[in-house]
Every structure is written in C-alpha cells, then in structure tokens.
Chain A
Amino acid sequence: MKGKVNIKEFNDHVILYPDNYINDIEGDKLDYMCDYLLKKGIKKFVIDFSGTELINSIGISILIGIIEKVKRHKGVVLFSGLRKVNQNIFNIVGLTKYVPIYRTEREAVDELRGNSVAMK
C-alpha cells in the first residue's frame, strides 16, 4: 500500500478522510484505497473533506477518476464537510453535478442509509 488514508468502515459503506492537502500523492492514496475497498465489495463511499484545506487540480483529476470508477462499479460517492472554496472549485469543474454534497458526514451517512441517493 502506498500510504494510509484514515477511514471508517461499516457494513456496506466507508467514510474516507483525506489529508489537509489533496495533491497527486494524497490523491493516489485515496485512489488506491478506493480500489482496495471496491475489490472488497464496498460500493458506497463518503469522502469527508472537513480536514482538507486545499485541493489542487491534480487532486481534482484523481477525484474525478475515483468517481468514474465507483460509478462503473454501480456504486455511489458522496462528499461532505467541504470548505467553501473547495465546493466552489468542484462547481467550476462540474463535479457537483455528479456527486451529492452534504454539509456534514452525518448527513451524508444518513442519506446513504436512507438509500435515496440514486434519486438525487
């Protein structure tokens, strides 16, 4: 494994906590972790960015790749805890059209458990 990403793993979903700065290195770690979890059969992901101050464009491209990958596996990704600037840059690149964003990790998890994400 290339590096560690903090995660909370539940029966059918996982919460990932990326680092303070998502660049190529941190993005690769997330990507690797998602691959690993998808292989384990996990298909529901919450990525909580409350500990993330900065995301650069390489990090964004890796996040796009992760979302595509999860969608290919018929899975779902939710984002939570985004700073205003990071939500803004996700808007600019068009990611917010594909990934529901929740204020807190709790709200995202509640949504997953309610199983109504596919309709968002």
Chain B
Amino acid sequence: MTENVMIQLAVIILFLPLLGFTATLFLGKKIKFMYIFETFILICAFVLSVVLVYTQLTYFSGKSTIGEFHWIDLANAPLMGRITVDLGVLIDNISVLMIFVVSLISMLVHIFSIAYMKGDKRYNRYFAYLGIFTFSMNGIVFTHNLLMMYIFWDLVGISSYLLIGFWYEKKSASDAGKKAFIANRVGDIGMFLGILLLFITYHTFTFDKIFSQISQGVIPFNSGFWLTVTGILIFCGAIGKSAQFPLHVWLPDAMEGPTPVSALIHAATMVAAGVYLIVRVFPMLSGGALEFIAIIGAISALIPATIALTQNDIKKVLAYSTISQLGYMVMGLGVGAYSFAFFHLITHAFFKALLFLGSGSVIMAMHHEQDIRKMGGLRKKMPVTYYTFLLATLAISGIPLTSGFLSKDGILAGTFAFGSLTGQWFFAAVGFFVAMLTAFYMFRLVILTFHGEPRDKEKYEHAKESPFVMAMPLVVLAALSIFIWYTPNPVNPEQGALLSSWVKTPVINTPQFSRYEFMKNDEAKPTQNNVPGGEVKEKESEVVYSGVYTEAMHQAHIPAMLLSLFVAGLGILTAFLFYQWKKLDPDKLADSIKPLYKLSYNKWYFDEIYDATFIAATLGLSKVLYWIDTYIIDGIVNGSASLTKLLARISDGFDHYVVDGIVNFMGYLSSFIGLIFRRFQTGKVQTYIVLVVFSLVIILFLFKSF
C-alpha cells in the first residue's frame, strides 16, 4: 500500500460518518431503520481504520504522510507576500492510534445505543448526531494544520452541545448544553488568539511548517516570552475542551446527556481532544508553557478527585474522575512524559468508556436511577456489568495486570523524574495523592453500587442484565483494559511495541534558552544513540531530550511503581473499611471535618463563585452595553438610516419629479403633436437619450483639464 492509498483511506474514514449523518438526518423521519445504516457506516469506518493502523504501524512506522491541497491561494498580500491556506490530512503513528481509538469506541457506543436508546422519540436523530460527532472528531485527529483543527474543534463543540441537550425538554439538559458550549467558547477564544499569533509570525497554519520555522529560530516577536504566551493560548483550547481547571465546571453538568454519549464524548474522545492538541503542538511548547500546563493539569487532577469523594450520582463521580484523569495526562505532558501521557490517553479512553457504558447498563437496569445510595447488591443481578466494571475500576486505580497501571505508573514516574531533576516535587506529590483518592472513590462507587444489600428493593427486583448489544461492548472494552495488548511484561510498558516503537517523543523545536534545563540537548552527545555506559544501550536504545533525563526516568521507574501500588492499595483498603466492612463510619468522619466535607460535597463552590463573579459581571456589563446600544449606537444607526433614507428619497424624488416630470412633459408635448406617435412613444426614451448626451457633455467638461 502506498502513501497515496493511505491518504485516500484517511479521507474516506474522515468523511464516512458525515455521509451517515447526512443520510440519517434527512431520511431518518421517513425510514425507520436509518440507525442501522449509521451503525453500519461506523463499522465500515472502524474496519478501514484497522487497515490504516496496520499499514502505518507495519510499513510506515515513524514516518508521517501528508496529503494536502491549497484551499485558499491569495495573491501577493500587502506586506506579507504570497499566502496560501492549506488543508490536509496528516497520517503518522499518533494519528492512526488515535483514529483507531475513536472509531472503535464510536462503533461500540453506536452498538450500545441501539438498545440503550430504544423507544426514544428522536431515535434516528440521536444516531445522526453521533455521526456528525464522529466526523468532527476524525477531523481533529487527521488534521495537519491548526485552522482545520479549530474548525473541527468547534464542530465537536456543536455536536457535543446537541447531544448534551438531546433531551432538551428537560431544562437542566438544555442548560447543561449551553453551559458546555459557553465554557468551551471561553477556551476557544484563547486558542484562536494563539492560532492568530502563529499565523502572524509564520504565515501558515500547518504544523510541520510552523515547527520547522521554530527550529530555525523564528519565534513570535523574537521573544521567548511570546513563544510561551502562544503556547499557553493554544493550550487554552485544551483547557476548555478537556475540562481543565478553571473551565472544568461544564463536564459534570454534561452528564445530563444520554449515558452512551457521556462514554463517547465526555470520557473517551472529545475531552481527550485537548490532550491530543497538546500532543500535536508539543514540539513548539517552551519550558514556561509546559510548566503552566503541568500546573493546570495538577490542579485539575487534584480538585475533582476531592470532589468525587463525596458525590452520590454515579455519573457525576465518573465525570469528576474523568477530569482528574485528564488532569493527569495534561500534567504528564507538562512534565515532559509525552509518550506516557499519550499512552494514558489511550488506556483511559478504553476503561473510562467501559465505566460509563457500565454505568449506563446499571442506570437502565435501575430504571434511570442514578443515585448510588439507592443501589447496592447488583453484583448478582448483573454479573457481566459487574465484572467488567470492576476490571475498569482496577485499571483506573492502577492495579497491576491492567492497562491503567502501566500508563499511570509512567506518568507518575515522569513526575518523579521531573522532581528529581528540577527539585519541584509538587507534581509528584499531587500525582501520588490523587492516585490514592482515585482508588478510594472508585471502590466506594463499586461497593455502593454492586456490593452489599440492595437499598431500593423494588427497583432491585426489576433489575436484570443488559441485552447482548449492550454487554458485547462492555466485554470488548474490558478486554482492552488488560495489559497484554500493550506490553508482554505487566510491569514494564516499555517492552511493548506501543511505547518502544510506535509512540516516540518528538524532537523539541523550541530555542535552547526557552527549554527546561533537562530538555537541552547534550552538547557533547549530539546524536541520539550515544548513551553513556554501553550496557544500558542494550535496554534503552533511545534518548529522550537528554541523557540526564533518560537516566532519571529510568531510576524513577521502580520507586514510582512501588509507591503508586502502595497508595492505590491504601485507597482501596480505606474504601473497604468504610463501605464494605463498615469498620469506619463515613458519616462520623464527615461530621468531624464538616467544612472540608461541605467544600467537597458542594464542588468547591465553583458554580456559585462563577455565578457571583463572571456571570454577574457579564450580566452587569451587558446591562451597560444594552444602555450604550439603546441610546448611543441606535442613535447613530437611526441617524445614518435616516440619512440613507433621505438620500434615497432625494434620488427617488429626482426620479419622480425631475425625470418623470420631463417624461410627463414630453408625454403632454407629444400628445399635442399627434396621436400616431403617442401610441409608440412614452416619451421616456428621448429623455434617456437627452440624459446620456447631457452627461456626456458634463464628463467632457470634467476631464477637459487633464
């Protein structure tokens, strides 16, 4: 298979869901079975993406293929020279792995939804929306430039809005849709400014052209500060989309959407787009920007984890855990653990989608009951859901033999190495602390939902295992949460193909002075394979950033693993003590630290704070603007409208009185001359000709002087 075929394949994968969307949306009302077509389309897309992944990783691994065309070709623009805006697809290891994840989960969610959404009055429309979402997400994955990224960025935004507010009759759902949309727009403004800064500097939107110019030392306004600012602005897009602090407030509310949507959009793919964006622009991020990213990631990992401890809605807990895990990835990228962050993105996509689909299965069995205090004992009724859910919980808690253990451990090791290299242990501390919290609240969730005695007997009696189309995706995703797909050695992910050969940390392009200390190239050892100590060379063939970093990462691996095992075990043990064996009373503890408990239970009052500050300020500002609009702008507009009207009336009057006057006069005149002429001559034509000759003379006099 050649590059051309791959590009065509990518374009087909990109546009197939759009076809599904269009067909389903327009024919859905007439043809009842359009949802099958849409699902079939997604299965096709998945099969094609498997072919693409296989081809890329087997034959073109490490190479990137670009298929592009000039979308807009402006002639020589003043001051800027020739400007072209290119659109195109980029096929490399990262994008094919991502497309595999997206199309697999999207396909599974489609299948799951067939049963989950059954009986909904807008059944086909739901599938159409899933189609447009998948199309937009594929666009984000395949894009080779920031402009297309931005376009598809907003397209996923709009499809997420449509799906969150899918049951728009419910006020809370339509409000949640709006909240998600607006919060995302706030982030998008930053991203757009960042893109504009890049375009002003480099006159292109394309990643590789921007990177190559950066590596030649061209940076915005010739200052490292502006490079950092640009990086942070682009990252603002990720803050919005990946629900990072301080824009994380929309994600828990987004749980108003149908649960499969939460699995697809708000757990596995769209929210991961922010992380994917950072992965894409990673080579241009300066040390300052990375540090900012790491701090935001750490905060976003920590705060939602503390909130998740006390929530009672099964989906809300999962939502906060999603934010927290995304915070992990962002933090991982910020401290330079690029490949592990991307690895965690993939593993998290699978096990978090599994958790959400499992919760969907539970919610359906419990007749749309989402409060875990009313559940319990479901283990016997729903064995498939229980065991898959448990596996995913083990994965997210970082227990060995699961995928989550491998990737989370890598990120923790990254923070550990970062700490030992720079002396900033903050990230490592947050990482391990959150790991403990995660294990605790996830097992709290499992125990309250599946273990013990049923607390709502009536609903429990009616609960039953979900049908095959819902159980099958659970099993597939559960299988993907086991370590074996990623590495043969359950404690060392780097022995697997994914990390050892597929996902490589890219070469940093930023100028030396703006990098982290440990990312500066070793002067003495410019080539990558010159690792000190011949015996290490066997195991580690590649140097990331610098020899010092590789060494630190290597040393951090074992302690980080042990420590993370310890904190996860501690978290799980505490959860069992509190909820399974009832040795400790959670209510008593909550009473004794009431302020903290309330802070967590009320989600750190973020919504209230935003209401009191930003929203109140916006409303106030809009009142002021309204006043300005009514009295000043409208005054100007009305004034100019009157002026325009006046002008038009003058020309109309000219037409009416002068032209028509002459016309009428001619008409009267000709009526005297004769009846014969009168029939053919309205008098107008002569007037016209008189006017032409008249204007001719005027023009001649006007230009005579030249």
- Do the two chains bind? no
